[in-house]
Amino acid sequence: MTSKNPIPRKLVLALVGLVVGAVILFTPQCAVEYQALLFDMEQYGESPEKDVCHAIQERINAYNGECGGDVVLDCG
């Protein structure tokens, strides 16, 4: 059974795009940076190198200062 007034496909795609754009736009930057730091810390754990660790620590320090976080990474 088909409906009498189907919703145009372009309208549905536009609404989906609008919702996705709004989610990206209104996601707090600190939450995005936190997830990026967690990912980098996991990657560092697989092949620990001092240079990589210190680079991540600099980003962590910036994150903690800007976002009030308490993330810590021990480079040994």
What is the count of structural domains for the chain?
A: 1
Residue 33 is assigned to a structural domain of this protein:
yes
Residue 62 is assigned to a structural domain of this protein:
yes
pLDDT of amino acid 64: 92
Indicate the pTM of the whole model: 0.60
Q: What is the pLDDT of residues 11-40, one digit of tens each?
A: 888 999 999 888 777 767 888 889 999 999
Q: Please state whether 68 falls in left (phi above 0), alpha (psi between -120 and 50) or beta.
A: left
Domain that holds residue 53: 28-76
Residue 4 is assigned to a structural domain of this protein:
no
Residue 3 is assigned to a structural domain of this protein:
no
